[in-house]
Amino acid sequence: MRKKKRIIIIILSLCIFVFLVSFKIASSKSGFVPKNIFKRNQIVYRTKEGDLLYGLHTIGRQTYYFDKETGVMQIGFIDIDDNTYYFKEDGTMVKGLYRIEDDFYYFDEDGKQIKNQFKKVSMNENDQISYFDKDGKMATNQYKEKIFNEDGQLLIDEDTLLKQAQAIINKYGGNVGLYFKDLRTQQEISINDNTFYPCSIIKVCVLVTVYNYIDQGLLEYDSCQTYLENMIIHSDNTSYNALISMLGNGNGIKGLQVVNTYMMQLGLQNTQLHHSLSPGDIYFSDNGSNMSCPSDIGLLFDLLYQGKIISKAACDQMLNLLKQCSDQRAIWQGLPNTVEFAHKSGWAYDLYLDGGIVYIPDKDYILVLFTDQISNKTDFFKEISSLFYTYETNLFTLE
């Protein structure tokens, strides 16, 4: 019996000895270590002085949270001082867009989860506007009268905008062609996209063709600059006629063919130039009539916006010129003076056309309007331009 007791005492002593040695070794280690030999899944951080860390701490380039009472490293959602954070399995704090199970969440640069607000995020290598609800989850599909795609991208309500635009068109009568494109989502709205006589809006086609010839070394910028500025800023017809003649090496008809060929290359399927413009010097015609449609002009502005005509630098230069267009009627009537608008307008008889890019931070859009015989041009342009501007500006607010 005594022998048995002695064996038990020896075994217990060995266990205590092993425990004390293990505890001593564990206590002497610094950095991320198990809290003790019995709770190896509970990780703490011990300083070189042997002290445990508590609360939020940045170690290296990562931030961790250690329980304020036990010092154990925490993972998952953690509420700290009225803010919610998320820590991955390795304990590191999450920042930016992050997927947890089936939902996406967003954590700001300090790791705080955003809730009840819109945020510009990068999804599939593209920037988009998304909304994060009261639980911090990214909204998808239909949410509180807003429309999102399956990736959480905020969309415009095409059906509602189309109906509202059509109602305004019906109110004023006449013949109206409309093209709208949200440059954030690439969504488009088109009404009566038929060909019209394009008046001076066709000068944008000559602008990009001349720049293309300059890029190829077939024309000198210095010899074209004054004509380009007068054609776009002041809508001077003689400058338009002169530039087309220069494209044809002195032959206006050949110059028209150069422009038409380039427009086809750019994808404008319903745009053709057949004559010079009057009043103005240098008359030429192939007996046809100039023509274009709203979506063609919209495409041309879209290509300029994307920097896809010649080069980004060339597109920026052309857009800067278009921002100086002196006509502040038509679409300008529905915009505040603080907004940038790169556009070209044109008018003749009962026709009035205007189109270009409206610049609003994160909400840029293209609007092109071709009108013929509408009852009140000023009120019409103001009302329909204001419709799209107001819709875009009220769609979301970034905090």
Which CATH number fits the domain that encloses residue 345? 3.40.710.10
Answer yes or no: is pLDDT of 72 > 70. yes
The percentage of residues in the chain with a pLDDT greater than 90, rounded to a whole number, is 79
- Do residues 150 and 60 share a domain? no
> Is 377 a member of any domain?
yes
Residue 154 near residue 129, CB atoms below 8 Å: yes
Answer yes or no: is pLDDT of 28 > 60. no
pTM attached to this predicted model: 0.85
- Altogether, the residues listed in the chain come to a count of 399
Answer yes or no: is pLDDT of 109 > 90. yes
Q: Which amino acid is at 46?
A: R
pLDDT in tens, 245-292: 999 999 999 999 999 999 999 999 999 999 999 888 888 999 999 999
The percentage of residues in the chain with a pLDDT greater than 70, rounded to a whole number, is 91
- Do residues 385 and 298 share a domain? yes
pLDDT of 235: 96
> Is 268 a member of any domain?
no
Mean pLDDT of 168-184: 96
pLDDT of 54: 92
Any idea what the Cα angle at residue 159 is, between residues 155 and 161, rounded to 5°? 80
Answer yes or no: is pLDDT of 1 > 70. no
- Do residues 163 and 125 share a domain? no
Which range has the worst mean pLDDT, 120-129, 161-170, 262-271, 311-320? 120-129
- Do residues 116 and 221 share a domain? no
Answer yes or no: is pLDDT of 100 > 70. yes
pLDDT in tens, 177-190: 999 999 999 999 99
pLDDT of 279: 86
- Do residues 323 and 229 share a domain? yes
N-term to C-term CA, the chain: 79
**Which residue bears the tokens 């009120």?**
379
**pLDDT bracket for residue 7 (50, 70, 90):** low
Answer yes or no: is pLDDT of 295 > 60. yes
- Do residues 298 and 364 share a domain? yes
Last residue of a domain, one of 61, 93, 125: 93
> Is 218 a member of any domain?
yes
Structure tokens at 326: 């002196």
**pLDDT bracket for residue 2 (50, 70, 90):** low
> Is 114 a member of any domain?
yes
> Is 8 a member of any domain?
no
Query: What DSSP assignment string belongs to 71-115?
Result: -PBP-EEEEETTEEEEE-TTSPBP-EEEEETTEEEEE-TTSPBP-
> What is the rounded distance in angstroms from the CA atom of residue 118 to the CA atom of residue 184?
14
- Do residues 292 and 342 share a domain? yes
Structure tokens at 334: 């529905």
> Mean pLDDT, the chain, as a whole number?
91
Range with the largest mean pLDDT of 11-15, 67-71, 122-126, 177-181:
177-181
Give the number of domains in the chain: 3
pLDDT of 123: 86
What's the DSSP call for residue 334? Answer: G
What is the DSSP pairing of strand 175-182 with strand 188-191?
Answer: antiparallel
Structure tokens at 90: 């390795």
Answer yes or no: is pLDDT of 21 > 80. no
Mean pLDDT of 316-334: 96
**Which residue bears the tokens 């509420």?**
79
> Is 373 a member of any domain?
yes
Q: 146: domain range? A: 104-155
**Which residue bears the tokens 């052309």?**
318
Distance (Å) of CA 185 to CA 118, 126, 353: 15, 10, 25
Where residue 37 sits, what CATH number does that domain have?
2.10.270.10
Mean pLDDT of 337-363: 96
Mean pLDDT of 302-323: 98
- Do residues 185 and 54 share a domain? no
pLDDT in tens, 200-228: 999 999 999 999 999 999 999 999 999 99
- Do residues 150 and 219 share a domain? no
> Is 113 a member of any domain?
yes
Regarding predicted confidence, which is higher, 267 or 25? 267
- Do residues 295 and 151 share a domain? no
> Is 328 a member of any domain?
yes
Answer yes or no: is pLDDT of 38 > 80. no
**Helix, strand, coil share (%) of the chain residues, nearest 5:** 35, 25, 35
Which range has the worst mean pLDDT, 14-23, 51-60, 343-352? 14-23
- Do residues 166 and 311 share a domain? yes
Which range has the worst mean pLDDT, 132-141, 176-185, 316-325, 361-370? 132-141
> What is the rounded distance in angstroms from the CA atom of residue 317 to the CA atom of residue 328?
20
Residue 59's DSSP bridge partners are 62
- Do residues 229 and 372 share a domain? yes
